[in-house]
Amino acid sequence: MKLTEAVNAVEEALPLRRFEHTMRVAETAGELASKYGGDADAVQMAAVLHDYAKYRDPEEMLQEINRSGMFAYDIEGYGTEILHAFAGALLVEKELNIRSSVILQAIASHTTGRAGMSLEEKIVFLADYIEPGRTFPGAEKAREASRHSLEAGCLEACAETIRFLSGRRLPIFPHTFEAYNEFAFMQLSER
Ligand code: GDP
Ligand code: FE
Ligand code: FE
């Protein structure tokens, strides 16, 4: 699938505001890729498609995820917000015939992160967090850190997400903690 076809597919799948967010994520991801490397084409495609499943029915997404065997445990309790990332990867493969594991993995991990993210995954994860439309607390700090390194930016994004969720006493997906720890270890070893 060509990038322009992917843009058309998400424009159809998403409301205008979410489509505009998607285009800003693609732009920010392009900037990060030119600074930090990675497969720039895969990064563009993953950024364009990252929220493809955002407005799907949570029940259907959960079914899709469970059917895929992606997780050995039940992820239902972690809330509906994280489903669109995992379901997005499954649905772009099924519906748009995207086969690149680099692209699919970057879509799957864009909300929760995970330990051992590829360069492309880190770029999409961080771009989603720091695109210029993000005004929540922590976005500016993550933007600042991302000028120093991709990992420093990701650490800020993980830390703030954990702070936000724990502040609301919401469950936190294990991948988010594992990503946080990996980036925190990295930062400590650099001191
Ligand atoms: P968006 O799709 O562009 O809005 O951004 P994200 O894909 O990052 O989704 C953001 C939502 O997912 C927010 O409501 C976060 O609070 C939520 N979220 C992110 N990580 C986790 C997590 O580990 N657990 C839970 N329950 N929610 C999370
Ligand atoms: Fe998302
Ligand atoms: Fe997004």
What are the sequence ranges of the domains in the chain?
A: 3-134
pLDDT at 144: 97
Of 124, 154, 165, best ligand 1 pocket probe by most atoms within 8 Å of the beta carbon? 165
Of 111, 134, 154, best ligand 1 pocket probe by most atoms within 8 Å of the beta carbon? 111
Within 13 A of 40's CA, how many CA atoms are on the CB side?
Answer: 10
C-alpha of residue 130 to centroid of ligand 1, in Å: 14
pLDDT at 190: 86
**pLDDT, one tens digit for every residue, the chain (191 residues):** 999 999 999 999 999 999 999 999 999 999 999 999 999 999 999 999 999 999 999 999 999 999 999 999 999 999 999 999 999 999 999 999 999 999 999 999 999 999 999 999 999 999 999 999 999 889 999 999 999 999 999 999 999 999 999 999 999 999 999 999 999 999 999 87
C-alpha of residue 20 to centroid of ligand 1, in Å: 18
Buried b or exposed e, range 62-78, using 16+ CB within 10 angstroms: bebbeeeeeeeeebeeb
Pairwise CA distance, residues 151 & 88, whole Å: 24
Nearest listed ligand to the Cα of residue 22: 3
Atom number of ligand 1 nearest to Cα 112: 20
Per DSSP, 14 falls in state: S
Ligand 1 site residues (CB inside 6 A) read 21, 51, 54, 78-79, 81-82, 85, 110-112, 128, 161, 164-165, 170-173, 176
* Residue in the block written with tokens 């006493």: 169
| CATH architecture designation of domain 3-134 | Orthogonal Bundle (1.10)
